[in-house]
Amino acid sequence: MSKIIAVTSGKGGTGKSTVCAGLGYTLAKQGHRTLIIELDFGLRCLDIMFGMENDIKYDLGDVLSGKKEPLEAVSQVPMAANLSILCAPKTLTSVNAEQIYDICRSIKKYFEYIIIDTGAGINSHVFDIVEQANLILVLSTPDQVCIRDAALMSDEFYNRGNKSQRLIINKVSKKVIGNALVANLDEIIDKVGVQLIGVIPDDFKMTVATGKGNPIPTDSEALRAFDAISKRLDGDFVPLTVKTS
């Protein structure tokens, strides 16, 4: 049985695509057959994050139009043998939750993890899609607007009966150290009201890679944090990689 994980946040630019890429990569490196489905229509970026911008033959648009079967439209990622991606179309295409779940149903026997990058914005289509996931990863940065949006998202998921949620706090600055960092993280967890599964440092290597259009840096601190979260997803106990004392 594959596990469907939806990665969401209220605000754009919080790092959804980065988290999908980081978790997908580390899960694959840990030996799990993993697929990332990118739902950010018109804002494709996973191909660049995995250094395969010119190697994408088909995308989700080809599946939605019936031109290709889902398995024919996925691209294998050269950086990680167990990882495949189904890229977003470069143009805006309408999609509904049922179509996405038909795709997941038809390919879930080939993958242990299916990670869904829900893309930007809070709209009913995101809620419908996320509703059927086994686990919702709610993403926030320490930014107050982002925290409030994450809390609103999460409340709505709870109201709809989606209790399986975990919080990832991304872009945590190491300038806030020691007790101040713990207080800071505690406050975010309390405000969002979701159990924490991991903290990702604000990693300059990550920002530079995106800025230059390079693949995600696999030797970065952020990737170490993703590796720890991936192990927690698989049931292991792993301490936070961002030191809090």
Ligand X SMILES: Nc1ncnc2c1ncn2[C@@H]1O[C@H](COP(=O)(O)OP(=O)(O)O)[C@@H](O)[C@H]1O
Plot region of 146 (φ>0 → left; ψ -120 to 50 → alpha; else → beta): alpha
**Which does residue 18 bind out of Mg ion, ligand X, none, counting CB within 5 to 8 angstroms by kind?**
ligand X
**Window 94 to 123, contacts with ligand X (CB under 6 A):** 120
Distance CA 229, CA 22 (A): 10
Minimum CB separation of residue 40 from Mg ion in Å reads 5
**Which strand (E) or helix (H) includes residue 20?**
helix 16-29
Angle formed at CA 57 by CA 41 and CA 65, multiple of 5 degrees: 55
**Binding residue for ligand X, selected from 28, 85, 167, 200, defined by CB under 6 A:** 200
**Per rule CB under 6 A, count of chain residues that contact ligand X:** 18
Stretch that binds ligand X, among 5-13, 71-79, 150-158, 176-184 (CB under 6 A): 5-13
- Give me the DSSP letters along 117-159: E--SS--HHHHHHHHT-SEEEEEE-S-HHHHHHHHHHHHHHHH
* Cα radius of gyration rounded to whole Å, the chain: 17
- Near ligand X by CB under 6 A, which window of 12-20, 60-68, 99-107, 127-135? 12-20
Does the protein bind ligand X through residue 171 (CB under 6 A)?
A: yes
16 near ligand X (CB under 6 A): yes
Return the range that interacts with ligand X (CB under 6 A); candidates 68-76, 82-90, 103-111, 195-203: 195-203
